[in-house]
Every structure is written in C-alpha cells, then in structure tokens.
Amino acid sequence: MPLDPSFQALLTQAAAQAQSTPREPAAIVARERAALERAKALLVITSEPGVHVEDHLLPGPSGDIPVRLYRPEGPGPFPVLMCFHGGLAFGDLDTHAPLCRPLCHETGCLVVSVDYRLAPEHPFPAGLEDCYTATCWMAAHAAAYRGDPARIAVCGDSGGGYLAAATALMIRDRGGPALVFQLLLWPSMDFRLTTASWKDYDGYLISSEEFRIFPEIYLPNEAEQSNPYAAPSLAPDLHGLPPALVITAECDPLRDGGEEYGQRLLEAGVPATISRYEGMIHGFMYLRHLAPQKAHQAFTEATDALRSAFADNKR
C-alpha cells in the first residue's frame, strides 16, 4: 500500500529542515532537541478523568532518576507499566505525556515514565541502566505506590522500544523481576541500514544520513556495537522473554528491524504479535490529526494487549 497522502506535507517539511542543518552529529542532536522543545509548546495533553500525576526521583546508578507517575483512582493494587520515551539523545517526560496519560486511563495501570540519561553526554549503557534500575526499583517498592509487583510490563516507542526490549533482556539475564509483557512501538532494534525498509523508505521522516550518527553518539566505543544490550536483534538467545506486541508502520525505515525481532521471539517460543499498519509512517500514533482512524486502531490494539496481559497475571 502506498504512503497515506495525509503525511506528505509533514514529510516535505521534515526533509527541508534536515537539508538546512549541518551534518555534524552535534548539530543534528541540537536541531532535534530544539524541535522537540518547540513541539512541546504545541502538545495537546488531554486531561483524562481520574488520572493523578506525580513526579518523583528514584535512586539510580549515577544519581537520581526522574520519573513521572500516572496513577488511576482507587486503592489498587494496579499493574505497572514502565514507559521509556524514544530519542536516546532527545525526549523527556513532557514529550511523552500524550502517550502516558491515555495509557493509564485506558488500561487502569500505574504508568511510570522514566527520564533516562541521554546521549551523547551519557552514552551506552547509561540510559539503559537507568531504565533497568527504575524497573527493578519499582518492582521492589510497588506497594508504596499502590502498584502490583507481580504485574509489571515495559513499553517504549522508537528508541524507547529498543530500551524496553533491552531492559527485558537485561532483567532475564540478571535475574531481575518477572515481566508480564513488552509493548514495542515502531522500535529501533539495531543500527543496520541494509534492510528492505531502509531501501524503500529512507527519508520518510528518518534518513540514513542522520541515523548514522547514532552509533557515534550512543556507542562511541565500537566494541559495544555488537553488544545485544545495544542492539537486541543481535542477542543469540531470546528464550524466556515476556510476551510481546510489536507495532510497526509500513512506510518506516525501521520497520524490518522491529518485525524481524518479533519473528525471532516467535521462533524462540515467546508469544508475540507483529502488527504492521499499512501506509503509516514512524510515530504515526502521535499523529492523530493526520491519521485518526489508524492511530486510534493502533492505540486500541496496544491497550487491549496490555489489559489482557495484566488480567492473565492477576493474583
């Protein structure tokens, strides 16, 4: 299916902005951070009834980790959803409030949005260790926040989808708290630029010229580029991981990496659903004004999967 024409103006604008930016990694990161700051002023944060929002600091490996809790009304205990924003080098608690609030409202879970350390100031594995540490800490202290330590899931979009998958791997390998689900939204699973989706959709909001900077800023130590915690698609063994829903967009250069990871989960005996949205681009679920029907469909699929996973593991 061809690109949904609703996205054409957005892609044209994004391409023009990219052309006007120097190609040095620092300039690209600065541009993306500035664009997100401008976008935050335009974000529509819905005020779902019964969602209480609190900011907290959790103890981390190199200082406190800021988190934002979205909690439903009631005594609990609520299932817990650890949410990791995309970007790796940009993004914060505010940029992903439009995802976290509705997730809390629609699933009845305690959503914990993690403000992990960003590259290039804090390269791998700093941000990932923050996500892992926050997940373990919340599991150990869930009751204090009316959470259920037996029903913890991870989720993330784009680079946050990678962080969710890598956190699940790390928890399995280190004997951390059991996870009941992983929700991976258009995840960035490795740094390959050789897949068919890159060939077909390079420049559709994400260009290979800009994507090449991530190994440099996130993995300045080249030896780490084969580390499965840096690229979960390189993990030799995916057995014992939590069930997954992988949502991808047809016209996203990162599509194949996410779908291949989902297929490998299935081959390892992990229950997984791979759901591709035809004609959509990277991050389409945030673009409800351009693709309301499919954005709503994807969000509903995600919340249904979370509710089912939490219900299946309720004590």
Residues 6+ apart with CB under 8 A from 300: none
Segment 14-26 mean pLDDT:
77
158 is catalytic: yes
d(CA 295, CA 68): 24
Half-sphere exposure of 62 (CA within 13 A, CB side): 11
Q: How far apart are CA 213 and CA 58, in angstroms?
A: 30
Check if 85 is active-site: no
Question: CA torsion, points 280, 31, 121, 70, in degrees to nearest 10?
Answer: -50
Least confident of 8-22, 112-126, 194-208: 8-22
Domain residue limits, the chain: 5-312
Which CATH class, in words, describes the domain spanning 5-312? alpha beta
What's the pLDDT score for residue 24?
83
Active site residue 252: yes
Q: How many residues does the chain have?
A: 315
The DSSP code for 217 is H
Q: Say what the pLDDT of residue 146 is.
A: 96
Query: How high is the pLDDT of residue 42?
Result: 57
Q: What is the mean pLDDT of residues 175-193?
A: 96
CA pair distance 213, 217, nearest whole angstrom: 6
- The 10s digit of each residue's pLDDT in 54-74 is 999 999 989 999 999 999 999
- Structure confidence by residue, pLDDT tens digits, 65-123: 999 999 999 999 999 999 999 999 999 999 999 999 999 999 999 999 999 999 999 99
| pLDDT at residue 225 in the model | 86
Choosing from 130, 148, 157, 252, which is the catalytic residue? Answer: 252
Of residues 158, 188, 197, 233, which has the active-site annotation? 158
Confidence of residue 178 (pLDDT cuts 50, 70, 90): very high
Give pLDDT, residue 124: 97
Q: How far apart are CA 270 and CA 237, in angstroms?
A: 11
Q: What is the DSSP letter of 224?
A: G
Stretch 274-300: mean pLDDT, rounded? 95
